[in-house]
Structure 1
Amino acid sequence: MSESKPRDVQVLPIALDTTILRSRSWNRLRFEIEYALERGTTANSFLIAADQIAVVDPPGESFTEIYLTALQRHVDPKQINYVILGHVNPNRAATLKVLLELAPQITFVCSNPGAIALRSALPDVPLTISIMRGTPDEVLDLSKGHQLSFIPTPSPRYPDSLCTYDSKTQILYTDKFFGAHVCGDQVFDEGWSVLSEDRRYYYDCLMAPNARQVTTALEKIAPFTVKFYAPGHGPLVRYGFTELTHAYQNWSQQQKAQDLSVALLYASAYGNTATIAQAIARGITKAGVAVESINCEAAESTEIQTALEKCNGFAIGSPTLGGHAPTQIQTALGLILSTVPQDKLAGVFGSFGWSGEAIDLLEGKLKDAGFRFGFDPIRVKFTPTDVTLKYCEEAGTDFAQALKKAKKVREPRQPATTLEQAVGRIVGSLCIVTTKQGDVASAMLASWVSQATFNPPGLTIAVAKERAIESLMYPGTSFVLNILAEGKHLGLMKHFLKPFAPAEDRFVDVDTDTAPNGSPILNQASAYLECSVSGRMECGDHWVVYATVDRGKVLDPEAKTAIHHRKTGTHY
């Protein structure tokens, strides 16, 4: 999405004495995988103006100036008593520093890990901090009935996470929970079903690797009578409240029920290694393997050891600080070398500024110990780009597929049943789906393709969840369907069937042109269709993508369409 509007702040009352300040960006904003759908985002902050005044979750530095300008139109900063923080990071600290200059009397309200992070982010600034641990007697009384309770909801990515409940308005301020990265004028989620894709994608990126912690958080908030959720990003959750709560429960149970799991260990000095870990986790979970994500900076050794004992494979990531790995990563490495069997699949990743000794250390120690790697060590200098994150996601998927393949080898193969043989008699045309978005391009061989509608002309494609191209086929994206010609299809089929390394160029030595929608056209195809994704539906281990056809052309009028015949319904 290109920036079609300038960033702004939308300010509206949402409940008694309560106002939302939605800082809006209409483009991607940040190179983190949860922003990859490029639908923009909102950073939601809230003003509770009773006899005492509290500000909940000021935004990051991308919005500092416009946010503080909007805030000062509604309240004199010197009258603000409290700033409540759902989490603290360096990005948000930039806004807090400027806010403190306007209102030095502020008391910050946060969790104990949040207080540690806040002092680290603002080391030379005098701070007044009230730490909330979530005990029943901890109530912040703003008067007029606004009594605030606090619920710590830590996760590996956000160990300082804190939800806030206002008993007067029955609003639960959920920070990272129940959000979506989508920008628009709609403050509440009327017609919430149109947000389902964005909310699911947000969950898959941010929450799925922390399913155990998500379940614990849901149990903690269940006793509260809540009118609506006020998340840090996207529309407020009122009309789809019950459905989204149940969805978080179901999605988390699905993650925990997977029979294969990966322990993902990391530390992150500036957030870059955590972003890489998140992209790897996304690739693993989309392939049907669970992730137990562990931030070694906030975890006890017993928690790390338990995860390593239960997992089928592990990956460990580290920044390089002063030429070394942080102490917590060295401790985790020691646990791996002393307790983990060498037949478990391993992975190494990390970020660095000027050198990458920590990554070299991890790779060398694990290699010397006899571990086999599920992907080549990932070294990222400074901040990862969208191309880097796509590479990390595909590396995670490869890691998961290697675990699944090893599991199949251990299990005796059963002959196809009559049902499976019958399903295999369903045939489909052989096609290559190609797409390019920004600097990221991908392709896949497809045979589960069917025309779906006459008006508008439309088709469906079944895409396996672990396919690299899956994350590029969401509503609003475009692709080209290249239909292969009988008798001339084997070369292209062989090329696109081969395994590609993460982020490897799929189009090397392939004769292509570029369609108006930016996707590659294969010149050896018999015909092609330019398509726009309108919707998709989750169906077991596949997504069924529905797309409308914008343009098309027959390249070989004499050719017949290549057809794929199968012997069983359990394989393509």
Structure 2
Amino acid sequence: MSLNIKNNVYWVGKIDWELRKFHGGEYSTHRGTTYNSYLIKEDKIALFDTVWAPFSKEFVSNLAKEIDLSKIDFIIASHAEIDHSGALPELMRHIPNTPIYCTKNGVKSLQGHYHQDWNFNVVKTGDRLSLGQKELVFIEAPMLHWPDSMFCYLTEDNILFSNDAFGQHYASEYMFNDLVDQSELFSEGIKYYANILTPYSPMVIKKIKEILGFNLPLDIICTSHGVIWRNKPEQIVERYLDWADNYQENQISIIYDTMWNGTRVMAEKIAKGIKEGDKEVNVKLFNLDKRDKNDVITEVFKSKAIMVGSPTINRGILVSVAGILEEIKGLKFKNKKAAAFGCYGWSGESVKIINAILKESGFNIVDEGLRVMWNPDNESMASCIEYGRQFALNVPL
């Protein structure tokens, strides 16, 4: 199946309705995803990227119905990650000498994945490739989100092929941003940014400003996952500039796990205190044993402050808490405050451990945290409420 995007530009990718985990098991995809490949049929014919390896034969078979494979003049490899390049080995079996245009790091990545010495052509920002009446203009985008990533702009049609930027893991037959459910679209968009692009926010701002500085007309953004932005594509660019600028809402997220409900009781009483201290703030609680970690990380991204709770176990913290803290550390959130809490029976190290990790992760630690011995009694619950009230006063938006 192909879909006409504009004039001689066609989508020839794959909609994956069944995908529920991505990057191994690191990223949840509740709404599936798409692997977007594009075919440009001008005087010269160019193919942008392929699809994930499990769909290689299907992709090449469908592509052959769209065009004689031997007539493809150029392959543009915007990014070597397997979800975009996975069908490349199968395609190159049919057209082994077709030139592949990619960045210098793209060559390294593709060779590292597939151990093939294909006909690589290295490009850098500002290089152009003629398709006849129109040209492709290459724009390197290192660390958005791999060293090899690049954008490409098609003149006359004013289309930006943005690879992993501006995308979402979102399966839809509609394929265009103006046709899908807007709440679903932006929910998946912010989740995608929070979990994948947050560490590279300074580079996101720099690259967007660089592209805007070219003063190129922009009618469509063709992403590599999810919908194609044809209606006011600047809206997702503006969202990215907001998200990249130490984004936060008037929200405090309490994330925790519990053994015998003591830490859960603490979390709920702290939340009650926060609302007493600030009636306007949005307080959300997440039991990490029962919630999807990528959804929780999205809420952390949106929050001005977080509170992290775990009981002490074997002089450590619960695995679910340790796991999400490890991911949070890698995401390098900025300008957010944090505190720790938890129950203990005899040694009580959990709060100290959590605070240390949060500090290492770049959070501003509000205080030493709150510990409660054994299950909270009425006095301890009152102290949790007061602790939440004081926390709210310490983290104004």
Range into which the TM-score falls when normalised by the shorter chain: 0.5 to 0.7
Match of 2:187 among 189, 197, 200: 197
- Partners of 1:34 and 1:205 within 8 A in 2: no
Secondary structure (helix, strand or coil) at the match of 2:202 reads: helix
Matches within 5 A, 1:25-424: 25-27=16-18, 28-32=20-24, 35-89=27-81, 92-123=84-115, 125-135=116-126, 138-143=127-132, 145-155=133-143, 157-190=145-178, 191-222=181-212, 223=214, 224-239=216-231, 241-254=233-246
Task: Give the distance between the partners of 1:80 and 1:250, measured in 2 at CA.
Answer: 39
Secondary structure (helix, strand or coil) at the match of 1:254 reads: coil
- The structure-2 alpha-carbon separation of the partners of 1:54 and 1:461, relative to structure 1 and needing over 3 Å to count, comes to same
Unaligned runs of 5+ in 1: 1-9, 258-285, 289-393, 399-431, 435-441, 450-459, 476-495, 506-540, 542-561
Deviation, 1:571, is 3.4
- The structure-2 alpha-carbon separation of the partners of 1:91 and 1:247, relative to structure 1 and needing over 3 Å to count, comes to closer
- Partners of 2:13 and 2:50 within 8 A in 1: no
Task: Give the distance between the partners of 2:144 and 2:156, measured in 1 at CA.
Answer: 31
- Percent same amino acid at aligned positions? 20
Deviation by residue 1:382-436 (Cα, 9 ceiling, x = unmatched): xxxxxxxxxxxx9xx99xxxxxxxxxxxxxxxxxxxxxxxxxxxxxxxxx899xx
Deviation, 1:17, is 0.6
Amino acid at match of 1:498: P
Aligned to 1:463: 284
Task: Give the distance between the partners of 1:55 and 1:134, measured in 2 at CA.
Answer: 19
Aligned to 1:502: 319
Deviation, 1:473, is 9.3
- Partners of 2:2 and 2:11 within 8 A in 1: yes
Task: Give the distance between the partners of 2:196 and 2:113, measured in 1 at CA.
Answer: 23
Deviation by residue 1:465-516 (Cα, 9 ceiling, x = unmatched): 89786645959xxxxxxxxxxxxxxxxxxxx8735423279xxxxxxxxxxx
Secondary structure (helix, strand or coil) at the match of 2:2 reads: strand
- Partners of 2:218 and 2:233 within 8 A in 1: no
Task: Give the distance between the partners of 1:461 and 1:473, measured in 2 at CA.
Answer: 19
Unaligned runs of 5+ in 2: 273-280, 297-308, 323-363, 365-380, 393-397
Amino acid at match of 1:566: E
Task: Give the distance between the partners of 1:497 and 1:99, measured in 2 at CA.
Answer: 50
Deviation, 1:243, is 2.4
- The structure-2 alpha-carbon separation of the partners of 1:21 and 1:90, relative to structure 1 and needing over 3 Å to count, comes to closer
- Partners of 1:189 and 1:235 within 8 A in 2: yes
Match of 2:14 among 10, 23, 27: 23
Deviation, 1:58, is 0.7
- Partners of 1:35 and 1:181 within 8 A in 2: no
Secondary structure (helix, strand or coil) at the match of 1:503 reads: helix
Q: Which one has a larger percent helix, Structure 1 or Structure 2?
A: 2
Deviation, 1:146, is 2.2
Task: Give the distance between the partners of 1:179 and 1:162, measured in 2 at CA.
Answer: 14
Secondary structure (helix, strand or coil) at the match of 1:209 reads: helix
- Partners of 2:101 and 2:120 within 8 A in 1: yes
Task: Give the distance between the partners of 2:80 and 2:294, measured in 1 at CA.
Answer: 33
Task: Give the distance between the partners of 1:433 and 1:198, measured in 2 at CA.
Answer: 33
Q: TM-score, normalised by structure 2?
A: 0.65
Moved more, 100-109 or 46-55: 100-109
Secondary structure (helix, strand or coil) at the match of 2:389 reads: coil
- Partners of 1:464 and 1:470 within 8 A in 2: no
- Partners of 1:34 and 1:201 within 8 A in 2: no
Deviation, 1:237, is 1.6
- The structure-2 alpha-carbon separation of the partners of 1:504 and 1:242, relative to structure 1 and needing over 3 Å to count, comes to closer
Deviation by residue 1:327-361 (Cα, 9 ceiling, x = unmatched): xxxxxxxxxxxxxxxxxxxxxxxxxxxxxxxxxxx
Deviation, 1:128, is 1.4
- Partners of 2:22 and 2:29 within 8 A in 1: no
Larger Rg: 1
Runs (4+) off by over 4 Å: 31-34, 90-94, 464-475, 562-565
Q: TM-score, normalised by structure 1?
A: 0.46
Matched residues, number: 298
Instruction: Give the root-mean-square deviation of aligned CA atoms.
Output: 3.8
Q: Which one has a larger percent strand, Structure 1 or Structure 2?
A: 1
By relative contact order (CA 8 Å, sep 6+), the higher-ranking structure is 2
Secondary structure (helix, strand or coil) at the match of 1:71 reads: helix
Secondary structure (helix, strand or coil) at the match of 1:177 reads: coil
Secondary structure (helix, strand or coil) at the match of 2:166 reads: coil
Deviation, 1:568, is 6.6
Task: Give the distance between the partners of 2:265 and 2:293, measured in 1 at CA.
Answer: 10
